[in-house]
């Protein structure tokens, strides 16, 4: 049974258009340095799960498209590279601390689904993204929320 996720990214760091330009429209989702988000990637996210791609720290804040997980959680090897921005000396190949998944672009919405539009959608009223203080960069999404986002975007859910 497929699960659904929301992945946040700042568009000036990595946008949905960067994913569109990636080889095979696929990339690793590395650099997660929050334990709860890491646990989702390591323990729960699976191949075939749907991803809502959310542009954070942007105007407007919005879900701009979708992706699919194409490789389940595996150690984030960037944590082992001393010159890399995601280096963590506590993480080693024998005892990895951080994990990542690979995603592939599924769809870019012609009209982004803004945070404002989500707030006015009853089916999204419990969405973690909209909860005060919710800052997780990886968060679960219910099937109802997944379908509502697609309805707002004007496309059928995949």
Nearest to 24 by CA among 73, 68, 62: 68
Per-residue pLDDT tens digits for 118-129:
999 999 999 999
Q: Is 132 helix (H, G, I), strand (E, B) or coil?
A: coil
Per-residue pLDDT tens digits for 29-73:
999 999 999 999 999 999 999 999 999 999 999 999 999 999 999
Taking the C-alpha atoms of residue 53 and residue 62, their distance in angstroms, rounded to an integer, is: 8
What pLDDT is stored for residue 145 in this prediction?
97
CATH 3.40.50.1000 applies to domain 4-153: no
Tokens linked to 69: 């997980």
Query: Has residue 9 got a pLDDT over 90?
Result: yes
Percent of the chain exceeding pLDDT 70 equals 99
Q: For the whole model, what pTM was predicted?
A: 0.95
């Amino acid at each position: 049974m497929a699960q659904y996720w929301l992945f946040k990214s700042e568009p000036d760091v990595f946008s949905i258009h960067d994913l569109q330009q990636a080889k095979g429209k696929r990339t690793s989702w590395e650099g997660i340095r929050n334990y709860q988000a890491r646990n989702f990637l390591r323990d729960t996210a699976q191949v075939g799960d749907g991803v809502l791609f959310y542009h954070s720290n942007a105007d407007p804040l919005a879900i701009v498209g979708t992706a699919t997980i194409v490789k389940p959680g595996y150690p984030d090897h960037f944590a082992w590279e001393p010159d890399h921005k995601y280096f963590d000396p506590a993480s080693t190949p024998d005892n990895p601390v951080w994990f990542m998944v690979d995603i592939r672009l599924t769809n870019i919405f012609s009209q982004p689904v803004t945070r404002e539009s989500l707030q006015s959608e009853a089916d999204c009223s419990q969405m973690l993204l909209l909860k005060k203080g919710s800052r997780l960069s990886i968060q679960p999404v219910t099937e109802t929320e997944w379908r509502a986002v697609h309805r707002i975007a004007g496309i059928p859910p995949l």
